[in-house]
Amino acid sequence: MAHFAKIENDTVTNVVVIDNAHESYGEAFLNDLGLIGSWIQTSFHSNIRTKFAGIGDTYNAEKDRFEPSSDYASWEWNEEHYNYIPPTPMPDDGTPYIWNEDSLDWVKMFPEEELAP
Do 57 and 107 fall within a single domain?
Answer: no
Residue 57: DSSP 8-state: -
Do 43 and 91 fall within a single domain?
Answer: no
Q: Please tell me the distance from the alpha carbon of residue 25 to that of residue 14, in angstroms, as a whole number.
A: 18
Do 57 and 10 fall within a single domain?
Answer: yes
Do 44 and 86 fall within a single domain?
Answer: no
Do 54 and 25 fall within a single domain?
Answer: yes
Do 9 and 58 fall within a single domain?
Answer: yes
| Whole-number pLDDT of residue 46 | 67
Do 20 and 41 fall within a single domain?
Answer: yes
Do 95 and 60 fall within a single domain?
Answer: no
> 115: pLDDT confidence band, cut at 50, 70 and 90?
low
> Could you tell me which residues are beta bridge partners of residue 53?
none
Do 61 and 81 fall within a single domain?
Answer: no
Do 7 and 49 fall within a single domain?
Answer: yes
> What's the pLDDT tens digit per position in 69-114?
888 999 998 988 888 999 999 999 989 999 999 999 999 998 765 5
Distance (Å) of CA 49 to CA 46, 62, 84: 7, 11, 18
> What's the pLDDT tens digit per position in 18-76?
999 999 999 999 999 999 999 999 998 867 888 899 999 999 999 999 999 888 999 99
> Whole domain around residue 31: which residue ranges?
2-67
Residue 116 has pLDDT above 60, yes or no: no
Q: How many domains does the chain have?
A: 2
